[in-house]
Structure 1
Amino acid sequence: MKLNALKTKKIEMKTFSSKIITFCILFLLTISVSAQDKKAKDLLDQVTTKVKSYNNITIDFKYSLNNSKENINQDSKGNVTMKGNQYVLNFMGVTKVFDGKKTYTIVPEDEEITISTVNEKDDNAITPSKMLTFFNSGYKYTMDIVQNVKGRKIQYIKLVPVSTKDQRKEVLLGIDIQTKHIYNLIEIGKKGTKTTLTVNSFKTNQPLSKNQFTFAASKYPNYYINKLD
């Protein structure tokens, strides 16, 4: 792969990782929000209660990036398995593992693994608690439209960033009314970029290996391991 293409791929993976982590947090943590819209809060509480009843969740998803002005239209598929704050994400040929303390980014194409420790005190660190706090204090939210998607009733909740510096115009969270599962997450940028994460398959309480979220260097004997800390 050419250098510029490889660099672009890594940037896309980093950007997507932030989005999928945000998505995971919406699934796995209590959404404790101020009463801006009681109906929206009640629905989010139902989603949280339903999802917290599961021991683990496995999702197959589609990720779309669109910008008509720039003539950009990209689609990618991936999957993520989550248990508590641990996860394994497979996307764009890269595997990202978080064992609760460290993140392991495995890139087979480069035969390289990057290991980093999550620092709870780092204001820029992407952690469940930090992202949850950001979500609660950084948005205004209201009930939005209801759509019928292949016989499924999807209720959207609109989240509008409070900060004028935020490059996102709004975020739409689609929730299946019957199952109380998140169907999709749509981010609309101020410059016309629209990213959509859609759940294609939602499985719960699957039999997982006891080493599901454990990184073993012995599996990658020829890989270069880059420890960031």
Structure 2
Amino acid sequence: MKVTNQDFIKNLGSKILLITALFLIGFSGQAQDKKAKELLDQVAAKVKSYDNITIDFKYSLNNSKENINQDSKGNVIMKGNQYVLNFMGVTKIFDGKKTYTIVPEDEEVTVSTVNEKDDNAITPSKMLTFFNTGYKYNMDILQNVKGRKIQYIKLVSTNPKDQRKEVLLGIDVQTKHIYNLIEVGKKGTKTTLTVNSFKTNQPLSKNQFTFAGSKYPNYYINKLD
């Protein structure tokens, strides 16, 4: 089983947007754990007060059966529905309408328009709807991580076709910030996204989420639509 950079980036993108969704929404209370709902709502309320969020993270993928152990670091800047993700030498910009994937190694920029009506499209707003109706969740273990109390919430998809056995969301009890996100696959793959640095309301350029083609004069621009 070979895991490519593109696999990493695709999988990570969905996790970043899942975290974005968790930051921005309130949660449905139907058939859910009341304490878990209260904690998730506190996280959402806390982060809604921020104009923007900057995260440095570590991403790990492990599968003992396939002898896979891969780690990498990256960062993401998020504001509303927009984000800039830097990971494994690739930059991904979403300006709210189009996604620009910049790959210096190939000197290529891939441009695609996000159609929210497309069931396969992953956007923050799409993740909001999916998460709110696609999971059951309840309180899990409370761990002490380097002096920080991390409360885990277990999420299980209601979709039988979902390849994830469960998702564990770690929340810092004191700050009400996301500490990590762990996905456990039904085939033994475990991916972990850990927040190393969490900054808010940073000064951003007015063009922070705008793709500037002039910076890539020799790049091949691959427009998918």
Please give the range of the TM-score, normalised by the shorter of the 2 chains: over 0.9
Counterpart for residue 64 of structure 1: 60
Counterpart for residue 130 of structure 1: 126
The correspondence of residues 1-229 of structure 1 with structure 2, limited to 5 A, is 8-27=4-23, 29-35=24-30, 36-229=32-225
Q: Quick one: distance in 2 between partners of 1:214 and 1:100?
A: 10
Cα deviation 1:61-108 (Å, max 9, x = unaligned): 000001111111110000000011100000010000001111100000
| Alignment-mate amino acid for residue 156 of structure 1 | Y
| Alignment-mate amino acid for residue 47 of structure 1 | V
Worse-matched range after superposition: 211-220 or 31-40: 31-40
> What's the CA shift for 1:34?
2.4
| Partner SS, residue 162 of structure 2 | coil
Q: Quick one: distance in 1 between partners of 2:67 and 2:184?
A: 16
| Partner SS, residue 119 of structure 1 | coil
> What's the CA shift for 1:12?
2.2
| Partner SS, residue 208 of structure 1 | coil
1:85, 1:128 within 8 Å by CA — same for their partners in 2?
A: yes
Q: Quick one: distance in 1 between partners of 2:130 and 2:203?
A: 33
| Partner SS, residue 142 of structure 1 | strand
| Alignment-mate amino acid for residue 43 of structure 1 | L
Q: Quick one: distance in 2 between partners of 1:225 and 1:71?
A: 37
Q: Quick one: distance in 1 between partners of 2:44 and 2:70?
A: 31
Q: Quick one: distance in 1 between partners of 2:83 and 2:47?
A: 15
Q: Quick one: distance in 1 between partners of 2:20 and 2:125?
A: 12
Cα deviation 1:35-75 (Å, max 9, x = unaligned): 41110010001000100100110000000001111111110
Alignment coverage as a number of residue pairs: 223
Worse-matched range after superposition: 187-196 or 134-143: 134-143
> What's the CA shift for 1:184?
0.3
Q: Quick one: distance in 2 between partners of 1:139 and 1:121?
A: 21
Worse-matched range after superposition: 79-88 or 133-142: 133-142
Cα deviation 1:108-154 (Å, max 9, x = unaligned): 00000001111122121112222111112211110000000000000
The runs of at least 4 aligned residues of structure 1 exceeding 2 Å deviation read none
Cα deviation 1:2-36 (Å, max 9, x = unaligned): xxx8x922232222212222222222x21322241
Query: What is the Cα-based RMSD across aligned positions, in Å?
Result: 1.3
What are the ranges of 5 or more consecutive residues in structure 1 without an aligned counterpart? none
Identity across matched positions, percent: 83
1:104, 1:116 within 8 Å by CA — same for their partners in 2?
A: yes
What are the ranges of 5 or more consecutive residues in structure 2 without an aligned counterpart? none
